[in-house]
Structure 1
Amino acid sequence: MTATKIQTWALRSRTGFAVVATLSGVAGLIVVLVQLWITGVFTRLGDAATTIVVVTTAYALFASVVGGYVSMIAQRNTLDWIPEDRAPTDAEAKRVLRMPLDMALLAGSLWLPGIVLEAGMFGMVAPARDLVIAVALVTMGGLTSAGFTYLLTDRLLRPAIPRVAQVRSVGHPSSTALVRVLITWALASGLPLANVILVLADTGSPQHDRIRGSLYIAIVGLLTGYAATAFLARSIALPLYDLRRALGRIEQGDLDVEVPVQATSEIGLLETSVNDMTHSLRERERLRDLFGRHVGTNVAQRALERGMDLTGDMREVSALFVDVVGSTRLAHVLEPREFVDKLNRLLSTVVDATTMYGGLVNKFEGDAALCIFGAPIELDDDATAALRAARRIRDEVLAAGEFDIGVGVARGLVFAGDVGSATRLEYTVIGDAVNEAARLTEAAKNVPQRILVSQPVVEACSSHERELWTSHGVLKLRGREDETKSWTDNRGGGASQRINKSRSSVTVDTGLSHTNPRQT
């Protein structure tokens, strides 16, 4: 039977920990009898040795039965949720964490009457020297039984710890790594060394018996010490290895990491902390993604870095404005869901093109969108990026044939930053360039190419990009005192054909004429 099957049986059986208590009592009895034989005490007792062995064995078996019965009650009160396939209550989870200590205390307390009984028997038939040795050896047997019970109970409870960890923190003062190390050392090395001291200090035994007994105990101590240390190291190293692998995956960006909590010591707390950390990181990433979808990834990153301060600065940016022609009439004719679906496809095109060239879709205004190039992320050539995005948006939207649009691009000094209050902020850009881009968009709806840009944009773009644009003349834009020198792209013929095709497609879909486009 494998260790896992033994653990499963012990947890689901009503008598699993009763068996543990019985085995621990028998182990303590064997330790006491072997030690009494090795130290030569039995030899010096003569005929009385048989009586002492019988009485000691009888008491040990009686104590094991009592311990088994009490352990069975404790298991029923602590682990009934396992065979019932339910989550533990908080009280049950707390008792599970205390169970190794409670079982060890039970095993140790059952040996106290045995120590008194052993002392009384040795006091009647043995000299004071043998009485001291016998009491010391029986005490060591009780400590062995208690320590063995603690470690075995702790090991058997491992499969239940993950479900306990879902109810309460697994940390408990009696289950630290230091406690486990000390108990393991005491069983594997401390008690054997104490026995060696007793044997060597027993001047009543012949020298060769003391040497022989010391050698036997030392060899047993070496073997058990090595085995216990290797087992303890493995029980610590394996969870740490799993934790290191989990942290490596987290470092690489994999946040779907869940470390099983399998211990109640500091390692279990560390496993719980890693799970809590990944949960927090997943939640942070979800909020970052949600925040980024609403305000843009760059704005979200800026907000996370700067906090809630109302900050901003003056930037030279290119503003791109997109607006739909005749959207009011389209919204009246089309079903709301159909109109929204088409509008979402349009805005997806705007977002993709803007993001591709390093810009920010600052806000959606119904069927219009304002895009900024040069803030919050500064670009080496914001004008070229804005012009390329404008042409791509125009081409893709008109090729889809669902909307007719106007695109305006202007460039100038603006305030780019947060506006609002301490409880509600919005990243925005404020300046004449934004207003100018919106007015150019109105005029662009009547231009075959459907794009108009201001002179500063063309002057600031790259020479290769400038070759693709031609002067459109001077415009008097609504709401502006100064005249605007405007430009449009020089691929007018192809654009006009696509626009006419788009208009025909839209007219067929809606039965509307676009000779009088909506003014923003």
Structure 2
Amino acid sequence: MMKPGRTLQFIAFLLIYFIVPFCACLFTLLFANYTASAFLPDQFLALFEATQIKNDLTLAIFTWAPFPIITLILFFYSLPIAKFLFSTKGCNFISEERARHRIVHSPLTISILGFIGWELSNFLSVCRIDRLFPEAPHQSIVTVSILFGFWGLFAFAFSYATTTYLNKLLIIPCVFPEGGLGKYAHGKQFSIVTKQFIFWAASTLFPIVLLIFGILLRTNQNIFNLHELVHNDVLFEVIAIMLVFSFAFAMSFASSLQHPLNQIEKATALIKEQKFDTRVKIFSSDELGLLGDAVNEMAEGLAERERIKDTFGRIVDPRVRDYLLSNEHSLGGKVVEASILFSDLRDFTTLSEKRKPEEVLYILNRYFQEMSNAIEIHGGFINKFIGDAILAVFGTPMPMADHAERAFATALQMQKNLDSLNAQFLREGLTELKMGIGIHTGSLLVGNIGSANRMEFTVIGDTVNTASRVEGLCKGLKKNLLLTENTSILLPENIRSKLKPEGEYELKGRETKESIYSYSNAE
């Protein structure tokens, strides 16, 4: 037994793909037959009665065969949709995408198929009647062909409007609960102007054409003398003028809707490409004007958000920024395994005392830029600058299995960048910089610390302190790079073979001694 929601979908499926298309043609045919005596010439009515008396099998086939064929086509067209909506086993990705695409385009496809079936039936029937009764006036046959062709347009408009409404009301909200129809809507879609023309033709042009047929029938005038009638009869002049004005009004009204909507569509597409300076021109104070204002306000808000995000990304690592923006802002954190790189400039305090603050800032900024480049290239993030020191983390917030190797490679790159920077400083008459680096691997806490209204994303723990203490040994051991055993055991064999044991040291704040290693090529 189907669930209530699934039952409603099944009813909607039957309505859209079978009942409505069938009823559109059936009701149109019944109404056309019912009103035929009021709008068709007497000659054709007699011809129509003669065809019924003749009971021609070919004519019956030509009249009705297109509709079962169209129904069969609709059946196969709707199979992927039925499988997607009602199958308990589910569909693969390709079948699901095909079904979604067909659901979006169903109203237009169904209506066009129904229109083709109707017009094909009309054409074949008229051709067969012309063969059966060659003595019949050709003007009568052409008149009937035109009239029933217009009835096909009415059937198309009725089918399209009804299936579109049912599809939007009952099917699309279930299949696209979060939207995303734009992915499937490109191509076979009517614009607002085209829809307005179709409905104008079905609701205005077609009734007036029927009335003209009725008037001509009652006054015994020929439809093929319409040009002469318009010039000689005021009534027909009024009808022609009203048709022109109604068409112009319908098209101008549709254009007044489509033009601003096109502007909004283009603007949203540009905003989607992060062109937040895009603005919609406002042409009215109605709902479309309000919508345009809303789009402009949204673009301004997104631009402001992007400026804040960009500024935030300059203050903290962009990956930390994205992590903070995509997660809840609450105090606390998690324990992770990571490698800490701590670097510090030697004797920089003494150097700073001999220079102007502007010059010190200039030297520091260039130094930090080169070191930041080395850290970011290897996937680390700078947690903070502490005076002239740098605290970099590898393995969080983005997990990486080779965090120790990355930290070590970063240290070597930092040394190379510093050598290059020192060469530039010497050419500029500035003093060379000397740097020490300490690396330690272990568990640490990463997350937000602080108060409820003022937080800082950082890393804390004994691992951070140990890396700082190891760097502090560089000056005494006259080494540029030192690392602990925890880090060394995670490095590849070709690197470990070049490490030199420096002995065990009792670091400040630690009860146990730490084995320290240096790298022979880092001097």
TM range (shorter): 0.5 to 0.7
Candidates 359, 368, 373, aligned match of 2:380: 359
Maintained 8 Å contact 1:390/1:407: yes
Name the count of aligned residue pairs. Answer: 308
1:178-327 equivalent positions in 2, closer than 5 A: 212-327=233-348
Query: For residue 144 of structure 1, what is the aligned residue in structure 2?
Result: none
Query: For residue 483 of structure 1, what is the aligned residue in structure 2?
Result: 513
% same residue: 30
Q: Which amino acid aligns with 1:378?
A: P
Q: Structure 1 length as normaliser, TM-score?
A: 0.53
Maintained 8 Å contact 1:394/1:407: no
Query: For residue 421 of structure 1, what is the aligned residue in structure 2?
Result: 451
Partner SS, residue 233 of structure 2: helix
Q: Which amino acid aligns with 1:223?
A: V
Candidates 400, 410, 433, aligned match of 1:403: 433
Evaluate the alpha carbon distance shift between residue 326 and residue 462 of structure 1 in structure 2; reply closer, same or farther with a 3 A threshold. same
- Cα deviation for residue 212 of structure 1 reads 3.3
Q: Distance in 1 between matches of 2:498 and 2:254?
A: 72
Q: Which amino acid aligns with 1:244?
A: E
Q: Distance in 2 between matches of 1:487 and 1:300?
A: 34
Partner SS, residue 353 of structure 2: helix
Maintained 8 Å contact 1:383/1:461: yes
Q: Structure 2 length as normaliser, TM-score?
A: 0.53
Candidates 432, 439, 450, aligned match of 2:462: 432
CA distances 1:332-390 after superposition (whole Å, capped 9, x unpaired): 10110100111111111222222221111111111111111111111121111111111
Q: Which amino acid aligns with 2:377?
A: M
Query: For residue 100 of structure 1, what is the aligned residue in structure 2?
Result: none
Query: For residue 374 of structure 1, what is the aligned residue in structure 2?
Result: 395
Query: For residue 46 of structure 1, what is the aligned residue in structure 2?
Result: none
Q: Distance in 2 between matches of 1:300 and 1:314?
A: 19
Q: Distance in 2 between matches of 1:380 and 1:217?
A: 84
Q: Which amino acid aligns with 1:231?
A: S
Q: Which amino acid aligns with 1:404?
A: K
Ranges of 4+ aligned residues in structure 1 off by more than 6 Å: none
Maintained 8 Å contact 2:441/2:484: yes
Maintained 8 Å contact 1:384/1:465: no
Evaluate the alpha carbon distance shift between residue 445 and residue 239 of structure 1 in structure 2; reply closer, same or farther with a 3 A threshold. farther
Q: Distance in 2 between matches of 1:354 and 1:282?
A: 30
Candidates 463, 466, 472, aligned match of 1:442: 472
- Cα deviation for residue 225 of structure 1 reads 1.9
Q: Distance in 2 between matches of 1:466 and 1:219?
A: 95
Partner SS, residue 482 of structure 2: strand
- Cα deviation for residue 411 of structure 1 reads 0.6
Maintained 8 Å contact 1:325/1:403: yes
Partner SS, residue 326 of structure 2: helix
- Cα deviation for residue 475 of structure 1 reads 2.5
Q: Distance in 1 between matches of 2:476 and 2:282?
A: 67
- Cα deviation for residue 448 of structure 1 reads 4.8
Structure 1: state its 5+ residue gaps: 1-176, 201-207, 496-520
Q: Which amino acid aligns with 1:342?
A: I
Maintained 8 Å contact 1:417/1:427: yes
- Cα deviation for residue 482 of structure 1 reads 1.6
Query: For residue 125 of structure 1, what is the aligned residue in structure 2?
Result: none
Q: Distance in 1 between matches of 2:491 and 2:256?
A: 65
Evaluate the alpha carbon distance shift between residue 214 and residue 319 of structure 1 in structure 2; reply closer, same or farther with a 3 A threshold. same
Maintained 8 Å contact 1:259/1:274: yes
Q: Which amino acid aligns with 1:430?
A: I
Evaluate the alpha carbon distance shift between residue 472 and residue 255 of structure 1 in structure 2; reply closer, same or farther with a 3 A threshold. farther
Structure 2: state its 5+ residue gaps: 1-191, 216-228, 423-431
Evaluate the alpha carbon distance shift between residue 224 and residue 322 of structure 1 in structure 2; reply closer, same or farther with a 3 A threshold. same
Q: Distance in 2 between matches of 1:260 and 1:222?
A: 33
Query: For residue 27 of structure 2, what is the aligned residue in structure 1?
Result: none
Partner SS, residue 479 of structure 1: coil
Aligned alpha-carbon RMSD (Å): 3.7
- Tell me if 1:472 matches 2:502: yes
Maintained 8 Å contact 1:316/1:412: yes
